[in-house]
Chain A
Amino acid sequence: DVKVTQSSRYLVKRTGEKVFLECVQDMDHENMFWYRQDPGLGLRLIYFSYDVKMKEKGDIPEGYSVSREKKERFSLILESASTNQTSMYLCASSSIVRETQYFGPGTRLLVL
C-alpha cells in the first residue's frame, strides 16, 4: 500500500527558529511536493522536486528552502520561522508529474 509519512502531526515553534519538516515516501516516486494549506486559500505549492538534488520553486517559495538528498525523502526548511508561516503543511509524491498525487497526513505548524 502506498505510504507517505511526515515527521510530525503537530509542531509548535518560536519566531526565528529554524524548522525542519520531513517527508518520506515508500513508492520509489521521482516527484515530491510541499504545499501549505490555509483556510479559504486551498493548497498552494511551495516547492517540488522531480529528482534527487533537483528542485523547482512553486507559487510561494519565499521564506522556505528544500532538500532532497535521497529519492525517498524531501525536507522543507523554514530558515527563520515567522508567525505568518503558521499553517498546515502537506507533502505529496507522484510517479508521473502532473498525475495522481499521494499525500501524507499533514503537519500542523504553529509559530508563536
Chain B
Amino acid sequence: SQQGEEDPQALSIQEGENATMNCSYKTSINNLQWYRQNSGRGLVHLILIRSNEREKHSGRLRVTLDTSKKSSSLLITASRAADTASYFCATDLDTGRRALTFGSGTRLQVQP
C-alpha cells in the first residue's frame, strides 16, 4: 500500500464536535504535511511538522507526530460546516526521493 495512508477514509460529524484524522507511513521521514482540498479544487497547505517535532498548533488545528509508531494525527477542534473538505497527509521520505508522497485522503463532512 502507499505511504501516507489516512484513516478513516470518510468521517461525518456535527458542527462543534472535534474531528481527528490519522496518517500512517512506512519509512523514515524528514517532515510530514497536511493539506486540505475543497471539492473539485486544488490543495491548500495547512501545516508542516518536522521529524524532530512532536506537536504543532495552528488556530483550531493540532498536529501530532509519533515517529516511533510512524503515524501522525490532525485534530480540528470545534468544527464548522466550512471545514467540510478532504484532508491529505504528505510525507517527505528520508529516502532521497525528491518529491512528497501523498495519501488518498480523508473526506470530512461537518453537518450544520
The interface centre, meaning the residue of A90, A98, A103 with most chain B CB atoms within 10 A of its CB, is A98
> Within the assembled complex, what's the spacing in Å between the Cα atoms of A108 and B43?
14
Pair A58/B99 contact, Cβ less than 8 Å: yes
Is B59 part of the contact surface with A, judged by Cβ < 8 Å?
no
Q: Which of A42, A56, A100, A104 contacts B102 (CB 8 A)?
A: A42
> Within the assembled complex, what's the spacing in Å between the Cα atoms of A7 and B107?
27
Q: Is the interface of A mostly helix, strand, loop or mixed?
A: strand
CB distance from A20 to the nearest CB of B (A): 19
Is B27 part of the contact surface with A, judged by Cβ < 8 Å?
no
Pair B104/A42 contact, Cβ less than 8 Å: yes
Q: Which of A40, A97, A100, A105 contacts B33 (CB 8 A)?
A: A100
CB distance from A58 to the nearest CB of B (A): 6
